[in-house]
Structure 1
Amino acid sequence: MMMNAYLTDPRDRILFGETPTYMQPLFGEKLPAPELGKHRFVIGQEGVVLEAINEVFEVRLPVAQSIIKLPYGVLGAQGVRLRHGAMPFRLLEIIEQKATSACPDEWAGWVVWDVLHQGYALIEPEILSVGPGHVSYRNELPEGSAIVLDVHTHGRMPAFFSGVDDVSDRHGFYVAGVIGHCHDRKNYATRMNVNGHFFDCEDFRLFFD
């Protein structure tokens, strides 16, 4: 019997096919890796996690904790892993410098994985409009690039994610960062974006080494 055979409406089958839910095996072999670029939900003894993988990330992130011990396998370690290792610290230094130099205006940049050269690079997108309270840019990545970090600054304002950010990030699969108070002691906001789902994440600076 197919896993989705109980679904009587074809729309539910399509939805299940695009975003499936699995049980964590208790006795058998571990689950195969998720389909590249997509996400799935896995139910284990402790609750529910989201799992996803793309060119640069492997993530297993908590969605809900169960108040009872469910009859499935243990979910195990959770978090975010960079498949190609940490980003070079020199790129973070450049980002910090640009954040300071641009203040009081905002600034935006991407750290990408260059598939051709097999390395990380910092890219500044084509700016359409910028000022102390906004930055808008052309959202086009160079061919052969996979976004790792989408970072922008808030000039003299504190770091936070706005409603505009929520719309911009709803289709992405990357770490998003904001740098605030760029004129003084900077503060930071970070989240992991996975196909429209936003998760708390460790400070994006910790992904550099």
Structure 2
Amino acid sequence: MLTNDPTAAAVLAAVPCHPVPPLGKSPALDALRSARSGHGLAVGSDGVMLILRRPWLALDVPVTPPIAAYLPYGSVGAPKADLRCGLIPCEHLNEILDHFRAALPNEAAAFVLWNEKTGVFAVNLPDIDEATPSRLVYRNPVLPPDWHLICDIHSHGRGFAFFSATDDADDAHATKMSLVFGRLDQPDGPMMESRLCACGMFLPLPRSPFAGESHAA
């Protein structure tokens, strides 16, 4: 037992930290990596890795460089970011961009949801409290059972795509993909910025989450 304090024990149970054995498997790490949902840390000879699981996401990402001190541990392994839900159908992207263009000159927003039981994706257009060409206030949807919010998307209208300080604050405590589209009035297509939000980190997406789109900005 690492602690007798119930609050500390609850924290360690919610976000466990496991050393990587030098040889052989770790049942605790195997359980964390195969979990439906949860996250924790693996400490190895080559650094510390965040292992995060959601029904739609399997993420292993280093959070420190290799530790300078000698540790008699094994390697934390290779990083990965796998969409357990698969790629989002491209027709949902077309629907969202059509909605954003129809809202010009104002900014607009959309969510992509995924149903864990059926594997179905859906676009949710949120309730908007305020929309102007430079400001947007909107609400997250209340999700029915088995549905997960996997993409939070908003537009900057005719302006450039970027993540603002307000976006950073909104995304800091969420696990989701976040996308911003701009220059929606341009004939050569919109510009896009994207990131994966996980445990307060903003990670680059290696590719677009939409089928048929090869790159993420």
Q: TM-score range by the shorter chain?
A: 0.7 to 0.9
The AA in structure 2 aligned to 1:159 is A
User: Identity of paired residues, percent?
Assistant: 29
Within 2, Cα distance between the matches of 1:54 and 1:33? 14
Within 2, Cα distance between the matches of 1:207 and 1:27? 39
The AA in structure 2 aligned to 1:21 is C
Within 2, Cα distance between the matches of 1:142 and 1:133? 28
Question: 1:154, CA displacement in angstroms?
Answer: 1.1
The AA in structure 2 aligned to 1:198 is M
Of the three residues 19, 26, 33, the one matched with 1:23 is: 19
* 1:157 aligns to 2:159 (yes or no): yes
When you count strand as a share of all residues, which structure comes out higher? 1
Of the three residues 182, 201, 215, the one matched with 1:198 is: 201
Question: 1:207, CA displacement in angstroms?
Answer: 4.5
Q: Secondary structure at the match of 1:64?
A: coil
* 1:177 aligns to 2:173 (yes or no): no
Question: 1:13, CA displacement in angstroms?
Answer: 3.4
5+ unaligned residues in a row in structure 2: which ranges? 213-217
Checking the alignment, whether the CA contact within 8 Å between 1:24 and 1:73 is kept in structure 2 is yes
Q: Specify whether residues 169 and 116 from structure 1 end up closer, same or farther in structure 2 by C-alpha distance, changes over 3 A only.
A: same
TM-score by length of 1: 0.84
**Aligned residue number for residue 32 of structure 1:** 30
Within 2, Cα distance between the matches of 1:166 and 1:107? 18
**Aligned residue number for residue 186 of structure 1:** 190
5+ unaligned residues in a row in structure 1: which ranges? none
Report the RMSD for the aligned CA atoms in angstroms. Answer: 2.4
**Aligned residue number for residue 50 of structure 1:** 50
Question: 1:170, CA displacement in angstroms?
Answer: 3.0
Checking the alignment, whether the CA contact within 8 Å between 1:45 and 1:75 is kept in structure 2 is yes
Q: How does 1:35-184 map to 2 (within 5 A)?
A: 36-66=36-66, 68=68, 70-115=71-116, 117-144=118-145, 145-184=147-186
Within 2, Cα distance between the matches of 1:113 and 1:71? 42
Checking the alignment, whether the CA contact within 8 Å between 1:177 and 1:204 is kept in structure 2 is no
The AA in structure 1 aligned to 2:79 is Q
Q: Deviations over 1:74-123 (max 9, x none)?
A: 22221321112211122122223333332321111111112454311111
Q: Deviations over 1:126-148 (max 9, x none)?
A: 22211111222222233031011
Checking the alignment, whether the CA contact within 8 Å between 1:191 and 1:201 is kept in structure 2 is yes
Checking the alignment, whether the CA contact within 8 Å between 2:55 and 2:85 is kept in structure 1 is no
Q: Does 1 or 2 have the higher relative contact order (CA < 8 Å, sep 6+)?
A: 1
Q: Specify whether residues 59 and 16 from structure 1 end up closer, same or farther in structure 2 by C-alpha distance, changes over 3 A only.
A: same
Checking the alignment, whether the CA contact within 8 Å between 1:92 and 1:205 is kept in structure 2 is no
Within 1, Cα distance between the matches of 2:159 and 2:208? 19
Q: Secondary structure at the match of 2:157?
A: coil
